Amino acid sequence: MAPHNFYVKLVGEVLAKQLASLGANLIISARNEAELERVKTQLVGKHAPNGVKILPLDLASGEEHLREAVQKAESLFPGKGVDYMIHNAALERPKSSALDATEESLKATFDVNVVGTITLTKLLAPSMLTRGKGHFVVMSSAAGKTPAPGQAVYSASKYALNGYFHSLRSELYLKGIKVTVVCPGPIETSKNIGENSSGSTGISEKRVSSERCAELTIIAATHGLKEVWISDQPVLAVMYLVQYLPTIGYWLMDKIGGKRVEVAAKKGNTYSWRLLFGQKKTA
């Protein structure tokens, strides 16, 4: 788990706490070693905190650095290796028009969300294949299943991630390798609790809690589910429409797409039904 923004940082931390409480042997990874030490001291379980291993890791550091990290990870629990790899890193920029994406932001997003994640997987998979078992749990996004106006580059990276890991599972499933792709919608964090559309205290966007997201992710992985969607409404309804009634789903997203970008620029609620139905005019 190597977080690159607030959302994945908190979900990764909650996942670590829940997995530790279930008795898992953990290796926790991120770029910031001090943050890893902080999280480690808060873990409670059969092997926590003293048995928890820390492995600083930057997904954008290149293949050689990632190879060294994989070799170290495989050696931290002699005779066991890595059974589950939870890919929880993501880089997401502030919402903006698809045409405003810079080359720098495009490369930075794909280096972390796609290239680094795939490279780490390619380096770890051979050891899993040798043992005849292994499980990749991939924290993707609802933006990897539906259009995400205002998040075109992030959405593109998640579509790429979904395509790679579903293909990987199909290739390696009979060799003992499992893949669970998790697609969360908006998640509640301590950063967005109590914020309304203007960013001030008031009615908040409807979000799934980080604790519930982590809990459902663990349930999905341990039950071997291939893909799971975790979201509140209206995002979950849109995901179903795009998946099963794509003509209607894409029509809906076309109707609200421009409005969503405008609302995002004003730091408003980009997950509101009002994007479709409009706001009531005041006298």
The secondary structure of 156-180 as a DSSP string is: HHHHHHHHHHHHHHHHHGGGTEEEE
Pairing mode, strands 134-139 and 84-87:
parallel
DSSP string, 54-90: E----GGG-HHHHHHHHHHHHHHSTTT--SEEEE---
Model pLDDT, residue 170: 98
Residue 190: what pLDDT? 54
Q: Is the pLDDT of residue 140 over 50?
A: yes
- Check whether 5 has a pLDDT greater than 80: no
Which regions of the chain does DSSP assign to beta strands (E)? Answer: 27-28, 53-54, 84-87, 134-139, 177-184, 187-188, 208-209, 227-230
More confidently predicted of 258 and 202: 258
pLDDT value at residue 199: 37
**Structure token digits, residue 1:** 């788990």
Instruction: Judge whether 77 and 25 are in contact, CB under 8 Å.
Output: yes
Residue in 260, 272, 254, 263 with CA at minimum distance from that of residue 207: 272
Q: Is the pLDDT of residue 198 over 50?
A: no
Confidence grade of residue 131 (pLDDT, cut at 50, 70, 90)? very high
Largest separation between any pair of C-alpha atoms in the chain: 72
Report how far residue 37's alpha carbon sits from residue 54's, in angstroms, rounded to the nearest whole number: 8
18 band by pLDDT with thresholds 50, 70 and 90: very high
| Average pLDDT of every residue of the chain | 88
Catalytically active residues are 154
List 12's β-bridge partners, or say none: none
Please answer whether residues 179 and 135 qualify as being in contact, where contact means their C-beta atoms are separated by less than 8 angstroms. Answer: yes
Residue 279 pLDDT greater than 70, yes or no: no
Q: Among 9-13, 245-249, 253-257, which is the least confidently predicted range?
A: 9-13
Which superfamily is assigned to 6-188+205-241 in CATH? NAD(P)-binding Rossmann-like Domain (3.40.50.720)
List the chain domain ranges. Answer: 6-188+205-241
* pLDDT band per the 50, 70, 90 thresholds, residue 270: confident
Give yes or no for residue 177 having a pLDDT over 90.
yes
How high is the pLDDT of residue 200?
A: 36
- Assign 93 a pLDDT band (cuts: 50, 70, 90): confident
Cβ atoms 220, 182 nearer than 8 A: yes
How much is the pTM?
A: 0.88
